[in-house]
Amino acid sequence: MNYLSTRGHPDRKRFCEILLEGLAPDGGLYLPEAYPQVDTATLAKWRALPYAELAFEILSLYIDDIPPADLKAICAKTYTAEVFGTDEIVPLRELEDGVYLEALSNGPTLAFKDMAMQLLGNLFEYELARRGAELNILGATSGDTGSAAEYAMRGKKGVRVFMTSPDGRMSPFQQAQMFSLQDENIHNIAITGVFDDCQDIVKAVSNDLGFKRKYRIGTVNSINWARLLAQVVYYFAGYFQATASNDKPVSFTVPSGNFGNVCAGHVARSMGLPIQTLVVATNENDVLDEFFRTGVYRVRAAVDTHETSSPSMDISKASNFERFVFDLVGRDAAKLRKLFVDDLGLQGSFDLSADPAFKQAAERFGFKSGRSTHADRLATIRDTDKRFATLVDPHTADGLKAAREQLVPGVPMVVLETALPIKFAATLVEALGAEPARPKKFEGIEALPKRVVKLPADAEAVKAYIAENCG
Ligand SMILES: *Cc1c(COP(=O)(O)O)cnc(C)c1O
């Protein structure tokens, strides 16, 4: 399996080469040259597999430069009941007639990002040991990515984490989760600014190829292909749990920010998994909903990016969206470059409304979208508690609301549960008047000593900090 860049760079790479990289050299995102196709006989075989073995089967189609026995061992070590709480790893339950919740948030940091990041930690350690190399991971987080990365990489040999986050914008629980880690290889950097400033810093540092090489900078942001690939697995696992046979269509609703999670759904669907609709659920930061409604992709300025009660979806641009648009425009790299380099660069938007490709987003690729407000979120949390005695976090609530708008009789709708409610306790208190129960291991974490430095929103300041602190 070879990987190409969405922006047309002539080089082709193997999985382990892009594993430790972020963007392609031309600023594009890596994608496989083609999506492996899964036939019904294969689906039938996979249906019976435990999660770790299903993961191995799917990853094997995309990874041919790790010996199968090693890859199998990595999957087995990653997806255990001990780490994820149940043998199913991603248990599905029916909430109401035809609407299901797929639990993706029972890993170490209580958000779905653990699903990919725990695998990434083990892949990184394996590959770095094999090369006798070290890596300094630079990341940007508005909460869940950072903690998932830190819990996946803590104590891992050959890896340091430098995680930027917008100062004061994460929930107290999220801050405590990250900043209380005392591991020497974990560095928390609070940036004076918003999440997009953090993302821009990561991009600026990664684009400084000299610095990147000298300090062996890598990334674990959602543009990392291995993360996206790991997420493909739970679409299959969700599908198998929601159906009794492989001829039934299923739809998924995905609380979305950077378009990583739902892009994995797009990959699963492109492989032949019978997914009918992929519903992209957004909050007030609705750049994706706007695109799927109108064909106009208009990135927002930092000042127009709202701070919402589903903060992990507070984005002004969706960093993985380019992957989907590449497929949407028929993998035409020149056209892709015009949209993402010329149009976005010059005017901050592109317009596909009059392009025949836009219709394909819904008709051929199955995309729909929805949008929620703070009031919707509270109403959904209350309603779900009242009618089903089930607590959902604000992101999952955004998903539920969008899902209900797209129900089709006879087609199961699986809503991806992206975090546990305790991570966003303030909003649960606002909705229900009481805090959700907290897992024992997280009791009192806000009071623990914190390990964090504060820096301005300036790539040079972050570079200087890395240079000083990387061994
Ligand atoms: C990261 C995150 C999202 C958004 O996922 P993307 O892959 O960026 O679209 C949604 N909900 C929660 C809880 C998250 O942590």
Domain residue spans in the chain?
37-85+111-224+448-469, 92-109+232-432
CATH topology (fold) of 92-109+232-432: Rossmann fold (3.40.50)
Query: 72, 113, 156, 368: which one is catalytic?
Result: 113
pLDDT confidence bin for 438, thresholds 50/70/90: confident
- Give nearest CA residue, ligand 1 atom 8: 258
Pocket test for ligand 1, best of 199, 254, 256 (most atoms within 8 A of CB): 256
Q: Cα dihedral sign for 127, 129, 130, 133?
A: positive
Number of helices and strands (H, E) in the chain?
21, 15
Average pLDDT value for residue range 82-102: 97
Pocket test for ligand 1, best of 109, 112, 278, 282 (most atoms within 8 A of CB): 112
| pLDDT exceeds 80 at position 110 | yes
pLDDT confidence bin for 405, thresholds 50/70/90: very high
Pocket test for ligand 1, best of 29, 102, 109, 113 (most atoms within 8 A of CB): 113
| pLDDT exceeds 90 at position 437 | no
Residue listed under structure tokens 């430069």: 65
52: number of Cβ within 10 Å: 18
| pLDDT exceeds 80 at position 143 | no
Separation of CA 289 and ligand 1 centre (Å): 15
- Give nearest CA residue, ligand 1 atom 2: 312
Residue 170's pLDDT is what? 84
What are the two backbone dihedrals, phi and then psi, of residue 195, each rounded to the nearest 5 degrees? -55, -40
Say yes or no: CB of residue 312 within 6 Å of ligand 1: yes
Separation of CA 351 and ligand 1 centre (Å): 25
Residue listed under structure tokens 């590959």: 127
Separation of CA 167 and ligand 1 centre (Å): 19
Say yes or no: CB of residue 175 within 6 Å of ligand 1: no
pLDDT confidence bin for 439, thresholds 50/70/90: confident
| pLDDT exceeds 90 at position 199 | no
**Cα 147 to Cα 153: distance, rounded to the nearest angstrom:** 10
Say yes or no: CB of residue 399 within 6 Å of ligand 1: no
pLDDT confidence bin for 144, thresholds 50/70/90: confident
| pLDDT exceeds 80 at position 471 | no
- Give nearest CA residue, ligand 1 atom 15: 144
Helix, strand, coil percent values for the chain (each to nearest 5): 45, 15, 35
293 CB-near residues (< 8 Å, 6+ apart): 369
- Give nearest CA residue, ligand 1 atom 1: 312
**Cα 140 to Cα 195: distance, rounded to the nearest angstrom:** 7
Say yes or no: CB of residue 141 within 6 Å of ligand 1: no
The mean pLDDT of the chain is: 95
Pocket test for ligand 1, best of 29, 312, 320 (most atoms within 8 A of CB): 312
Residue listed under structure tokens 């056209």: 335
Say yes or no: CB of residue 256 within 6 Å of ligand 1: yes
Residue 345's pLDDT is what? 93
Say yes or no: CB of residue 417 within 6 Å of ligand 1: no
Say yes or no: CB of residue 261 within 6 Å of ligand 1: yes
Say yes or no: CB of residue 220 within 6 Å of ligand 1: no
Residue range 47-58, pLDDT digits in tens? 999 999 999 999
Say yes or no: CB of residue 222 within 6 Å of ligand 1: yes
> Is 77 an annotated catalytic residue?
no
| pLDDT exceeds 80 at position 246 | yes
214 CB-near residues (< 8 Å, 6+ apart): none
Residue 316's pLDDT is what? 87
Residue 218's pLDDT is what? 84
Residue 219's pLDDT is what? 80
Are 37-85+111-224+448-469 and 92-109+232-432 the same fold in CATH? yes
| pLDDT exceeds 80 at position 221 | no
Atom of ligand 1 nearest to the CA of 143: 15
Residue range 270-301, pLDDT digits in tens? 999 999 999 999 999 999 999 999 999 999 98
pLDDT confidence bin for 440, thresholds 50/70/90: confident
Say yes or no: CB of residue 146 within 6 Å of ligand 1: no
| pLDDT exceeds 90 at position 210 | yes
Say yes or no: CB of residue 144 within 6 Å of ligand 1: yes
Q: To the nearest whole percent, how much of the chain has pLDDT over 70?
A: 100
Separation of CA 471 and ligand 1 centre (Å): 32
Do residues 103 and 249 lie in contact, with contact meaning Cβ atoms separated by under 8 Å?
A: no
Multiple choice CATH, 37-85+111-224+448-469, 3.30.413.10, 3.90.1150.30, 3.30.930.10, 3.40.50.1100: 3.40.50.1100
Average pLDDT value for residue range 305-321: 91
Task: Give, in order, the Cα–Cα distances in Å from 9 to each of 115, 316, 382.
Answer: 30, 27, 50
Separation of CA 125 and ligand 1 centre (Å): 25
Residue 302's pLDDT is what? 79
Residue 380's pLDDT is what? 98
What are the two backbone dihedrals, phi and then psi, of residue 188, each rounded to the nearest 5 degrees? -95, 130
**Cα 11 to Cα 24: distance, rounded to the nearest angstrom:** 9
Separation of CA 102 and ligand 1 centre (Å): 14
Separation of CA 262 and ligand 1 centre (Å): 9
47 conformational bin, left if phi > 0, alpha if psi -120 to 50, beta if neither: alpha
Say yes or no: CB of residue 259 within 6 Å of ligand 1: yes
Say yes or no: CB of residue 195 within 6 Å of ligand 1: no
